Structure 1
Amino acid sequence: MTPRPAPRRCATCGRELEAREVYYRFHLVLQGEQDLVDPAPDDDEGESLEALVERLARAPEDPRELEEQVHWERSGVVCGACRAVVVRTLTPPVEGAGPH
């Protein structure tokens, strides 16, 4: 008798997936980027960067929260129904289709 695999849960809806049910693996990385940082008027780059670092050090937010605003990563599995929602959400709209 072959051992039964541990039950899996959909990362989106939380439903337990049956052993013979098709599921979809995902790995999602969201990374914050900015093409241009506008320096403050009459500031040189060194002073602006120093002021930014100081402001971040004094910020009331948890450093982990600030980090997740720049880099957020998750992986897991989803069921077929949740896969359809994710694909629809991340697929660019067809031009002229209107709001969703």
Structure 2
Amino acid sequence: MTGPRAKTCATCGRVIAAHAVYYRFSLVLEGEQDLLDPSDDLEGNPAEALEALIRRLDEGSADPGEMEAQVHWERSGVICSECRAVAMRMLNTATADSEPH
């Protein structure tokens, strides 16, 4: 009979023993935008604005996968106790006086 297998921390790569505490996580980042760019003249002629947007996307050098990742990215897995502590510190930090990245 075989018991539970050891797990690997998704952050640091440490092996988490089968008897050790581990933490499951699921992280979803979804891009949103509340206002459209005023330079996109949607009120003047929406069809032309849409055509211009499609043309810029077709002519751009952006990788479609990267563009998709900018809108939706998700990851799940398990982490060890040490990485949980780091994540909790990072996510609980007050952002009121934080400078932009």
Place the TM-score, normalised by the shorter chain, in its bin. Answer: 0.7 to 0.9
For the Cα contact (< 8 Å) 2:26–2:74, is it kept in 1?
yes
**How many residues align structurally?**
97
Per the TM alignment, residue 40 of structure 1 is displaced from its structure 2 partner at its CA by 2.0
Show structure 1 runs of 4+ deviating over 3 A: none
Aligned residue number for residue 4 of structure 1: 3
Q: Which moved more, 1:48-57 or 1:20-29?
A: 48-57
Aligned residue number for residue 15 of structure 2: 16
Post-superposition CA distance 1:16-50 (Å, at most 9, x none): 10000100000100000000102327543332222
Aligned residue number for residue 34 of structure 1: 33
TM-score (norm 1): 0.82
Residue identity (%): 53
Aligned residue number for residue 78 of structure 2: 77
Tell me which amino acid in the other structure corresponds to 1:49. Answer: L
In structure 2, stretches of 5+ residues that fail to align are none
CA RMSD of aligned residues (A): 2.3
TM-score (norm 2): 0.81
In structure 1, stretches of 5+ residues that fail to align are none
SS in 2 for 1:74: strand
For the Cα contact (< 8 Å) 1:40–1:48, is it kept in 2?
no
For the Cα contact (< 8 Å) 1:39–1:48, is it kept in 2?
no
